[in-house]
């Protein structure tokens, strides 16, 4: 009893501290910007969670109407001219007859070599996969790009969504891809995902091992895949204790920002971050089980691309995941920083990168793209790896590629975007937002404004994917 008393006291003290922190953060959230109608009004029930569709085309047509009706429900010319929900704004999603947010299909007809399902990232839209989809379509691949539930309409759609909702939509997409594959002559089925879409691709593939009802993809392409995120996202559910009260309704939001991007939510719910954390946690658990059973050869071949200084997900967790499930058919390519700017980069990224490559205990293909030579001021690039002795070796010279002089790294969001992209590319309005003033004056972080939105090595990446497909394009798994 004497032992229990101190433990009870300690538990009570910890509980009081936690409650105090939660209450303080809830009260502080009242200082966040005012909630707009798109933060409060919920989208209508999601299509794939409440209906069944016989084909990609049938769903894509219904999805266009669904997205448009939910956006039209809140649009008004009274909103700020930067807001995407102002029909007079250049950021209005349907400006110039564009459709950034709906699911879409690119069909080359009967000459299709394979069916590809692509999945976008958290708070994004199908538009973020458009450049990859177009590149594959031009090579005669049938491509379907899925809009995940809760996305593409109103930011409030991410207040209550669960990762299992996204999982259900992905499962329908792969089932439909399997049916289409048979109709087109038993062609292969590939899948690809960006960020959370990558995490969902891992999850689907892991679950397909022991579930005959799930069509295992023949190959998987991953772009900045979310293998791990900050553990702080786990406490994202704590807001429920107070955010149900009107006085604390802003507490459900991590960010309340102007919605100036026509293809992406700028405001971000705490629930959304927590769902990705739970999905990553589930994937790591499944990967450990696969490793324990030595079932790696039952998985499809994976190829992943990620920035080593990714600020959204944790690159080291992707390496850990690959170490658990990877084999000789799998590839992981990391984009190093521009060594020209090494004195300005936080930490010793060179030593950290080399250490993580040397610690690689699997036999998958692990490479990184970096300045050639790696410790030179020259901007020429090469593909490097390390041999069994820990010596750095150049695999291939990429002399036709150079780091652009003003770019010091690739960002998480830039990986799937071409430099020619009209919304995020090199010459786009969003990539050239340049307005200056005093620091800490804007509610939009200056780091978000200066973050690179396109991948200067997009063509190189798609070349790698083409070679990855051709290496074993017979439709077999490992």
pLDDT tens per residue across span 67-104: 999 999 999 988 888 899 999 999 999 988 889 999 99
Q: Are residues 142 and 3 in the same domain?
A: no
Q: Are residues 161 and 15 in the same domain?
A: no
Higher-scoring residue by pLDDT: 89, 7: 89
What's the confidence (pLDDT) of residue 343? 81
Q: Are residues 382 and 313 in the same domain?
A: yes
What's the confidence (pLDDT) of residue 27? 47
Give per-residue pLDDT as tens, 407-417.
989 999 999 99
User: Residue 373: is the preceding peptide bond cis (ω within 30°)?
Assistant: yes
DSSP conformational letter for 401? E
Q: Which residues pair with 385 in a beta bridge?
A: 393
Q: Are residues 7 and 79 in the same domain?
A: no
Higher-scoring residue by pLDDT: 28, 450: 450
Three-state DSSP class for residue 398: strand
Give per-residue pLDDT as tens, 137-180.
999 999 999 999 999 999 999 999 999 999 999 999 999 999 99
Three-state DSSP class for residue 122: coil
Q: Are residues 363 and 460 in the same domain?
A: yes
Per the domain annotation, does 478 fall within a domain?
no
What's the confidence (pLDDT) of residue 340? 82
The kind and range of the H/E element at 302 are strand 301-307
Give per-residue pLDDT as tens, 431-474.
877 777 787 777 777 778 889 999 999 999 999 999 999 885 65
CA 93, 94, 98, 103 dihedral sign is positive
**Domain span holding position 208:** 37-471
Contact of 318 with 228, CB cutoff 8 Å:
yes
Burial class of 33 by CB neighbour count within 10 A (0 to 12, 13 to 18, 19+): middle
DSSP conformational letter for 415? T
What's the confidence (pLDDT) of residue 450? 83
In total, how many domains does the chain have? 2
What's the confidence (pLDDT) of residue 475? 45
Q: Are residues 299 and 434 in the same domain?
A: yes
Q: Are residues 1 and 108 in the same domain?
A: no
What's the confidence (pLDDT) of residue 344? 84
Q: Are residues 230 and 187 in the same domain?
A: yes
Residues contacting residue 41 through CB under 8 Å, at least 6 positions apart: 73, 74, 154, 156
The Cα–Cα gap between 176 and 125 comes to 20
DSSP 132-195: HHHHHHTTT-EEEEEPPTT-SS-GGGGSS--HHHHHHHHHHHHHHHHHHHHHTTS--EEEEEET
Q: Are residues 22 and 80 in the same domain?
A: no
Q: Are residues 289 and 408 in the same domain?
A: yes
The kind and range of the H/E element at 142 are strand 142-146
| pLDDT bracket for residue 61 (50, 70, 90) | very high
What's the confidence (pLDDT) of residue 13? 66
Give per-residue pLDDT as tens, 327-357.
889 999 999 888 888 788 887 776 777 777 6
Compute the mean pLDDT over every residue in the chain, rounded to the nearest whole number. Answer: 86
Give the domain CATH number at 270: 3.40.50.1820
Per the domain annotation, does 192 fall within a domain?
yes
What's the confidence (pLDDT) of residue 263? 97
Backbone angles phi, psi at 189, to 5 degrees: -120, 120
Q: Are residues 319 and 185 in the same domain?
A: yes
Which range is least confidently modeled, 26-30, 211-215, 285-289, 449-453?
26-30
Q: Are residues 168 and 104 in the same domain?
A: yes
DSSP 106-120: E--GGG---EEEEE-
The Cα–Cα gap between 240 and 221 comes to 36
Query: Could you identify the residue written with the tokens 């997009």?
Result: 458
């Amino acid at each position: 009893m004497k032992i229990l008393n101190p433990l009870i006291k300690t538990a009570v003290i910890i509980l009081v501290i936690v409650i105090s922190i939660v209450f303080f953060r809830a009260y502080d959230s009242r200082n966040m910007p005012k909630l707009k109608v798109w933060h409060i009004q919920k989208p209508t029930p999601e299509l794939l969670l409440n209906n069944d569709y016989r084909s990609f085309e049938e769903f894509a047509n219904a999805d266009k109407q669904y997205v448009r009706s939910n956006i039209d429900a809140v649009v008004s010319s009274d909103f700020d001219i930067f807001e995407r929900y102002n029909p007079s704004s250049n950021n209005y999603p349907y400006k110039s007859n564009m459709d950034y947010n709906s699911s879409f299909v690119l069909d080359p007809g009967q000459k299709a070599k394979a069916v590809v399902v692509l999945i976008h990232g958290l708070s994004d839209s199908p538009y973020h996969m458009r450049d990859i989809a177009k590149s594959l379509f031009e090579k005669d691949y049938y491509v379907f790009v899925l809009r995940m539930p809760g996305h593409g309409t109103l930011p409030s759609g991410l207040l209550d969504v669960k990762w299992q909702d996204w999982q259900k939509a992905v499962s329908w997409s792969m089932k439909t891809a399997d049916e289409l594959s048979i109709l087109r002559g038993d062609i292969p089925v590939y899948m690809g995902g960006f960020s959370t879409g990558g995490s969902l691709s891992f999850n689907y593939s892991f679950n397909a091992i022991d579930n005959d009802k799930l069509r295992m993809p023949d190959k998987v392409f991953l772009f900045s895949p979310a293998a791990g995120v900050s553990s702080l996202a786990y406490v994202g559910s704590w807001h429920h204790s107070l955010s149900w009260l009107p006085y604390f309704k802003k507490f459900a939001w991590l960010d309340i920002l102007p919605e100036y991007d026509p293809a992406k939510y700028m405001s971000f719910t705490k629930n959304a971050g927590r769902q990705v954390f739970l999905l990553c946690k589930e994937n790591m658990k499944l990967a450990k089980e696969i490793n324990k059973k030595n079932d790696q050869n039952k998985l499809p071949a994976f190829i992943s691309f990620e920035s080593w200084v990714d600020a959204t997900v944790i690159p080291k967790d992707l390496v850990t995941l690959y170490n658990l499930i990877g084999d000789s058919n799998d590839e992981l390519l990391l984009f190093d920083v521009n060594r020209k700017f090494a004195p300005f980069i936080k930490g010793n990224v060179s030593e950290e990168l080399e250490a993580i490559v040397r610690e690689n205990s699997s036999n998958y293909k692990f490479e990184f793209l970096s300045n050639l030579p790696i410790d030179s001021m020259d901007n020429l690039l090469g593909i490097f790896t390390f041999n069994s002795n820990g010596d750095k070796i150049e695999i291939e010279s990429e002399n036709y590629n150079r780091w652009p002089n003003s770019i010091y790294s690739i960002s998480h969001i830039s990986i799937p975007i071409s430099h020619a992209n009209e919304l995020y590319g090199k010459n786009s309005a969003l990539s050239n937002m340049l307005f200056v003033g005093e620091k800490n004056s804007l509610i939009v972080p200056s780091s978000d404004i200066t973050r690179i939105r396109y991948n200067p090595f997009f063509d190189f990446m798609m070349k790698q994917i083409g070679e990855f497909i051709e290496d074993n394009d017979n439709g077999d798994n490992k």
